[in-house]
Amino acid sequence: MRRPTRDSATSHRRISRRSLILGGVMSASAAVLALRMRFLQVEQADQFRLLADENRINIRLIPPARGRIFDRNGVIIAENVPSYRITLVPEETSDIEAVIDRLGQLVELDPDELNRARRDLERLRGDTPVTVADRVSWEAISRVAVNTPALPGVAPEVGLTRHYPHGAAYAHVVGYVGPVSDRDLERIDAPDGLLLIPRFQIGKIGLEAEREDLLRGKAGTKRVEVNATGRVMRELERHEGTSGADIQLTLDNELQTYVHARLGDESAAVVVIDCQTGDMLACASSPGFDPNLFVRGISSTDYNALLENERRPLPNKAVQGIYPPGSTFKMVTALAALEDGQIDPNETVYCPGYVEISNRRFHCWKRSGHGNVDLHRSLRESCDVYYYDLAQRVGIEKISAMAQRLGLGIEYDLPMTSVAKGLTPTKDWKIVNRGAEWVIGDSVNAAIGQGFVLASPLQLSVMAARLATGRAITPRLIRSVDGVEEPGGEMPDLGLNPNMLNEVRRAMFAVSNSRRGTAYSNRIIADGYRMAGKTGTSQVRNISTGERASGVRSNADLPWRQRDHALFVDFAPYEAPRVAVSVVVEHGGGGSSVAAPIARDITLQALYGGDPPLDAYPAKDRGRIRTQQEQLRQYRPAGGTQKRGRA
């Protein structure tokens, strides 16, 4: 049956309308797709190209060379030496343990090193190279390089590691570097990407730590192309980093190594300062340790041996150690009294061997007493009773103020670990810190450098330099950075009465050059090199009545840790001071018998710039000194150490 013409026309219109609608939708969809394709292929082409490149290109950090450290004459103290190692990038291998097993068949893997590597592989990002073998030989590196196709993710590398050519001589001043630890990272708010590289070395103590910002440098980057298995095919681009700054110290290598050798196994510290500039020429703490042991991580056995050594090789006694200064403090008390007008240099005090104050007897070191003593004799023979009398006249406040004026009780801004402030006590200090009132006995003890008074060897050398010059000498350790001279601090006049200061200097000269002086046996006899000094013995504990009854008569009868500390300070030459020296020997006994000989030898070494002639010593000492010089030469660089690079 034929459909009516009207129905056909209606149906045709409907089909045409639907076709147009459908065609329009399809056209719109095609247009949207075309626009989207244009957006992806044209406008976002760079982004997608980068995403594609990231599948085959890795960006890696290049550790910078650490800045070197030199002495004042350009002798290298801390350097960087090549170190061969084998690294593994975990994301570039599907079976880490299998790769490690194959690697172990080619080179010997240290179990401890491997355990550290496994811990790093677990906690670090997959694209971070982890060191699985360090300090390997060239032969081992060659075997790994030949077999790299069978070791996905493994790469033999050559890097730089820190080396300290003089070992223990600079361990306490320069310090050492070591691998970055979790504790290091916790102390830093936003760690540099370099610090996340396993085994990356940073300063741990000493100058290495205090000037980490200068020594570390800035990282470089490199872009490498890798294949489907992650193996590096080629290096596409490299941007070198910036090496750390080279630092030149004020220390003199020949003097520093001599001092360290001269101290030997003593538990002691020495500081030598240039009286004109404040430059530290030597700063030694003994016994020392080899900082190279710490560079890649010290073993528990070696570290425990250092911790258990009763002579404490780890702390820097020269700046961290604080001791009662003993009789080396008497110049402070004398100047406080002179400046305050409490005494005249010729005024005498009678010393019967003791003085009674507040129902307590304070003894002089010479039990029979010194008789009538003036300022000159009090220092020359180190009479205690004279200073007990001064303490009662001048008071602790003025003594403490003079101590600070001469450089004690000050925390010097030096790039070393834990520089101690020491203590110059006052009445308020005792109330705040001890909860008790100051008593006259406290002043009496302080007047001879005992009681609450504490000073470091560094501060004692500054005191000697200030006494020598009358100026506010300030110690300096860094001479230049990348060849640019570091500015020295201002060293204004102390404002002391020159006549009074000269009286104290004359008395210090008599200590070493008068037959009755406590350091006469350790004098310098060479004209133009004579020194002015002061002995000191700081008491660690009293010998009890019971101990005396049992036969303990002197310090030598006590266990080592209970013996007195021996001290000596000096400056030389007396007429035109060039160097100031302080020596502290822990539990050494007497300052005149133990510390003074060391100080005399070091002073001469500093003045002559090497072994002094034997005729600079008293005739009775020359045979012993000749033997000593021959023995010490084997521990020191012959003719100076070869200079490397620039300073």
Residues annotated catalytic, as ranges:
327
Estimate the crossing angle of helix 330-339 against helix 384-394, to 10 degrees: 40
- Beta partners for 480? 248, 485
Buried b (16+ CB within 10 A) or exposed e, 164-183: bbbebbbbbbbbbbbbbeee
Q: List, in sequence order, every beta strand (DSSP E) within 206-267.
A: 220-226, 232-239, 247-249
153: left (phi over 0), alpha (psi -120 to 50) or beta: left
Q: Which helix (H) or strand (E) holds 254?
A: helix 253-263
Q: List, in sequence order, every beta strand (DSSP E) within 20-113.
A: 57-62, 69-70, 76-88
Residue where the block lists tokens 């003993």: 326
CA distances from 282 to 109, 234, 481 (A): 42, 50, 19
Sheet with 280-286: list strands edge to edge.
280-286, 268-274, 579-585, 565-572, 532-538
Please report which residue ranges of 358-456 form alpha helices under DSSP H: 375-380, 384-394, 396-405, 427-434, 440-447
Rounded CA separation 170/207 (Å): 10
Q: Is 6 helix (H, G, I), strand (E, B) or coil?
A: helix
Task: Answer yes or no: are the C-beta atoms of 345 and 503 closer than 8 Å.
Answer: yes
Tokens of 511: 């200590």
Rounded CA separation 479/278 (Å): 11
Q: Is 359 exposed, middle or buried (0-12, 13-18, 19+ CB in 10 A)?
A: exposed
Asked, as a colleague might, if the bond just before 573 is cis with ω within 30 of 0, I would say yes
For 342-364, the DSSP string reads: ---TT--EEESSEEEETTEEEE-
Rounded CA separation 156/226 (Å): 16
In terms of Cα–Cα distance, which of 207, 231, 219 is closest to 61?
Answer: 219
For 145-177, the DSSP string reads: HHTGGGSTTEEEEEEEEEE-TTGGGGHHHH-EE
**Amino acid identity of 402?**
M
Q: How many CB atoms lie within 10 A of CB 12?
A: 10
Tokens of 297: 């991580």
Task: Answer yes or no: are the C-beta atoms of 511 and 533 closer than 8 Å.
Answer: yes
- In the chain, helix, strand, coil percent, each to 5? 40, 20, 40
